[in-house]
Amino acid sequence: MSMQATPEDLRDEVPGTDLREAWRIGRVFGPPIRRTFRDVIADRLSGPLPPQAAMLLEPLADPHWDSDSFFLGDFYNAILHQDTCHPDTAEGVALLAALSVDDRVPPQLRFQTVVLLFEIATVTDRHLAQCWPDVPPHADPENEGRARDAVRSCIPDLLARWAIECPAVRLALAGIAVVFPTVRTLPALTPRLEGFTVQHPQGTDIGDYVRFALVVAAGDDQHTLTAVETLTDVYWTGTARRAPTRARALHLLGQMLTVVGGTLRLPIAME
């Protein structure tokens, strides 16, 4: 029988200082994915850590000791709270960026962290499209701008992994690439997404997503608007027709990326 004390035993019987020591020496760890996240962040980030790192490094910071799913929900929410940026969101981007480029993090979770970076970078546009012509009720231009800039700074490191990433994460990377377009975005994405367009025809979730990402990457407002209207008429939640085209496009792309995440239970063909 294992002699390792459970976290519940420690919480009932010992003060916080002893629980922290038990955590430090490896007597207790919390949910398995927190151990992985903790190791990645400890290895990749130095100096003062973002406040959300306390959930990885501090045993009293989170009550969900034995549940990956509860822990992940709390951790992600601490960075982007209910799809709303707060003063610490920009700092939390560094955690997501580090987790997104480390192979110790399972592919499905790397997909989630890249998607969360996409959501942070597009908060302003998506909310504008949702609420048009009204001002989004929780708009915070300063914090949203800081968070968006933080995401922009980590894009080169994310995209540098394209060749070694799994197909699912490549789909998320395609989404985030078009949020910060350059003159190289479309020429680079087109050949990289060719395998997806061959394997996933128009009218499928992945097929529509990659084709729409290429339309947005082209930067032609009229073609983008036509694509938004066409796809919205099919099955996606619509946005006001007078809202800015780019805001509507990123709102739609976010919906599509969320649905694509549901395919992760199945192999995603690319070539």
pLDDT in tens, 207-227: 999 999 999 999 999 999 999
**In the 3-class helix/strand/coil scheme, how is the chain assigned residue by residue?**
CCCCCCHHHHHHHCCHHHHHHHHHCCCCCCCHHHHHHHHHHHHHCCCCCCHHHHHHHCCCCCCCCCCHHHHHHHHHHHHCECCECCCCHHHHHHHHHHHHCCCCCCHHHHHHHHHHHHHHHCHHHHHHHHHCCCCCCCCCHHHHHHHHHHHHHHHHHHHCCHHHCCHHHHHHHHHHHCCCCCCCHHHHHHHHCHHHHHHCCCCCHHHHHHHHHHHHHHCCHHHHHHHHHHHHHHCCCCCCCCCCHHHHHHHHHHHHHHHHHHHHHCCCCCC
pLDDT in tens, 159-214: 999 999 999 999 999 999 999 999 999 999 999 999 999 999 999 999 999 999 99
Give the pLDDT score at 22.
54
Give the pLDDT score at 2.
31
pLDDT in tens, 76-131: 999 999 999 999 999 999 999 999 999 999 999 999 999 999 999 999 999 999 99
Residue predicted with more confidence, 194 or 63: 194
pTM for this model (two decimals)? 0.87
